[in-house]
Amino acid sequence: MGYSRRSFLKTAGWVAGSGLPIRGFAVAAQEASARQIANSSAGDSDIRQVVSSSDLIYDRPAPRSEEGLPIGNGRMGSLVWTTPSQLRFQINRVDVYANNSQSNSFNQVHDDYCGGCAFFDIEFEGDPFPESGFRQHLSIYDGVLTIEGEGISVRIVASMEQDVIAITIINRRNSGSPISAVLRMLRYETKYFGRELEPLAAAHAVRIEHRSHTATSRIIAQNDCIALTQEFQEGNYCCKSAVAVCFLGAGAKGEVVNDTDVRLRTETTIATTILVSSAASMSRDQDVAALAFEQLNHVTERGLRAFEEEAQIWWHAFWAEGVVELHSEDGTADFVQQGYQYFLYLMAATSRGKFAPKFNGMLWNTGGDLRMWGAQHWFTNLGCYYHALPTTGRFDLMDSMYDMYSAMLGSCGEAAVQQWGSRGLYIPETVYFDGLEKLPDPIAAEMRELYLLRKPWEQRSVEFARFAETKHPYSSRWNWIAGGRWDDGRYVITERGAGPYGPTSHMFSSTAKIAWLYWQRYEFTMDTGWLRERAHPVMRGAVEFYRNHPNLRKEDDGKYHMHWSNSGEPVFGARDPIEDISSIRAIAAVLLKASQLLNLDSKMRPIWQEFLDNLAPLPTSDAHDALHPPSYHGPRVFVNALKPAIKADRVPTGWLPDINSLPVWWYDLCSVESKDDELRALANATFDKLLPEGPRPYTKLGALSMMAIAAATLGRADAVRSLIPGQMRPEADPRSVWYKKSGPLANRLTLGEGAQALHAEHLGRASEALHRALLQSNPAAPGEDPIIHVFPAWPKDWDARYTLRARGGFAVTASMRQGRLEEFKLISRAGGVCRIRNPFPGKMIILQRNGKPAEQLGGSIVEFPTIRGEEIEVRNA
């Protein structure tokens, strides 16, 4: 099929050398932060200088493709790396999935794939990118990557509106030489099917078959543009993608290189620009190549200068929402600042699409379809990114996550009934982007009996076993499958040996954790429309699932107890897991608050209140059936669960555990604002037990660890100074061969989740901890009124200035220097009552409203009304 394309405008729109000056990375960052905090005053902070301390600057090629420099617009993206004669990319998208929840074709681990659209190379004559001595600079303030090769300058910008990346090349060499842009298929194995494939061969196509799944790739060449399309099909499922390329400002000719590659070639001029666009759809009728070409047309009609200006405006407005400036004499706080701003850049570059980016690769895969952990979403991993965002106020970066889970609620409600005989919503820890498949009624009925332990595992039917053989082992629903082996042409699954249990099979708290993020959006924005339409259904579904679960029941002690449930991944089938009890306590409390605010569920409120009032207590070590080693004789602490348990793995000695054994991991059960002194003392004792040697410089933490978050939540500034930088600089995890092989990469990502599973989970976790150390707006208990508390866990000898969001609809700007609070301002975005912890204990404070002195107040908690849009400064009287 041919595609008509209007003439491209011939404009360059960029002058070589216009990028930011490149400086030494660590030294410049520390000096900039120190100077900024010393000199800044309200409203005149040099945001560019602060943000630019987080830039990535290379003076030699990335030693491996996974260490390339990230460019993206939230929907499409790529790492950029070089060989001596090439610029290399893999174009990825967040909305490209090879299969969905209905698939029966991917029953082996790590063989399902997603995201990848095409390899893309720009080829030069000669070697403009030698083994050393050329600069590469990613400016995260501008969202621009510049590369200064030998005789070649390159500037790469992603449009934040269109799915287009512009690569402008300035040729400083004495004589022109050709440049080629090459699209390559991700799949090279070719399997032909006789007459069925004959039309594909004529259209330069390759089709791969994997059981019932087919992946068809086509290349298209025209005089002045090329494209590569993919189409995945299985049953009723279809997903398509396209990548299109053209030259802007130079004549070009497209040609087919072979069955899998297509090239666009031009003779160079002084300046030329290559545009790369992409598109995707899950509609069989959608012409994705036409969509990709249309985006190229849009950019060329408006011109490259407008393209770049729009991108700059977007990024500068993004950073104007608020930054964090940090400094310490030893440079540790400066290092934390670098990682924090870089994390926000990564989220803006990956989380603005139809679906949340996959934790294992995000938009940065470089190895084609290879992606360990496959195409499903683990919320524990995904939560590393999204729990860090509410305090930034950048809820547009959370929309993809909200939209993905909201779209699957119908299937999750059906799964609650089919799989568990409950009501409400069951959102598994591990789930496809579109939720769960509807099970045949006989399979669902038997699954309930088996998974609720009402039918012996050994008595499962042949029909159930055969149905399971085609399912993915990483799906929570089928997580009792460990893997498999091929035996005489038949794939035979192997089991984990714990009946229907696997690490995520009976993990129920993910629904509540996701619901909590919906509630947090309301708390930070005070948007009652969001609360009614989006948050309340998920919160209600989480509580109703627990309340109606057959294995949760009221017992002789008058308390509701949960049985045969997982607590995180290490504990299988225990009693009263701390994750479940914490989840119920928190989400039931805020559901009651929401129902009152919305005037909904008046008949259910007494039922939910009774359920909450009589819930089992959080499990502790002094219980006679506490799940801990028999030899334990330490202080009273929280434990994962109570006995009996199907299985309880122990964490290796010498490594801080990632297991969730503190109620401060999630929710508002325990913080510096908690009224419950006993609960807070228990949490601190547990924290000390998990960190027996105390914090040390750069105490090593795993990417998923929440110890830094716990330290900040409990006000432990001594631990914050060690744990946050320790998590941002991940050390080798002795449990992970991938950490041993890769360690932290030059682009601040890691391969801790496996081959091609690039991630920034450690940056997300550390950023959430940083927020809590700088600013908390926690209530005394879930559902109660939030209290703004500035610098609740900040080391006194670290300087800081920030603009962040607080619950109740407030933007907070505060600064501390040499242990003294210098500035504390609030902007009321919702016009509600503000409650703050007095930052000057034992003294009166003066409120200055919109620049004019107002009332004088006192007390440990200060409460006052606000007007929407009002700016209030808090001063020491």
Query: If you write DSSP's letter for every residue of 341-387 in order, what string do you get?
Result: HHHHHHHHHHSSSSSPPPTTTTT---STT--TTTTPEEHHHHHHHHT
Largest pairwise CA distance in the chain: 89
> What integer pLDDT is reported at residue 654 of this predicted model?
36
Q: Are 611 and 587 in contact (CB under 8 A)?
A: no
Mean pLDDT, the chain, integer? 89
Give ∠ CA 359-542-443 in degrees, rounded to 5: 80
Per DSSP, 611 falls in state: H
Distance CA 354, CA 94 (A): 7
CATH code of 55-320, in short, is 2.70.98.50
CA nearest to 795, candidates 723, 731, 727 = 723
Q: How far apart are CA 582 and CA 669, in angstroms?
A: 8
pLDDT for 412 equals: 98
CB of 735 within 8 A of CB of 725? no
Q: Among 2.60.40.1180, 3.40.50.460, 3.90.650.10, 3.50.50.60, what is the CATH number of 796-876?
A: 2.60.40.1180
Instruction: Write the pLDDT tens digit of every residue in 71-91.
Output: 999 999 999 999 999 999 999
| CA pair distance 203, 711, nearest whole angstrom | 60
**Distance, first Cα to last Cα, the chain:** 76
Query: Is the bond into 644 cis (omega within 30 degrees of 0)?
Result: yes
Write down the pLDDT at residue 629: 74
**What pLDDT, on a 0 to 100 scale, did the predictor assign at position 650?**
54
In the prediction, which pLDDT does 743 show? 66
Are 837 and 787 in contact by the 8 Å Cβ rule? The answer is: yes
Q: Return the pLDDT at 16.
A: 23
122 in Cβ contact with 268 (< 8 Å) = no
The full length of the chain comes to 877
User: What span, in angstroms and rounded, lies between the C-alpha atoms of 241 and 751?
Assistant: 27
Residues of the chain with pLDDT under 70: 1-45, 174-176, 189-203, 250, 268, 649-661, 697-698, 730-743
Single out the residue of 707, 710, 706, 708 nearest to residue 680, CA to CA: 710
Confirm if 567 and 650 have CB atoms less than 8 A apart. no
Q: Could you count the other beta carbons within 10 Å of the beta carbon of residue 441?
A: 9
The residue extents of the domains of the chain are 55-320, 651-763, 796-876
pLDDT at 660: 47
Give backbone dihedrals phi and psi of 638, rounded to 5 degrees, phi first.
Answer: -75, 150
Residue 740: per-residue pLDDT:
47
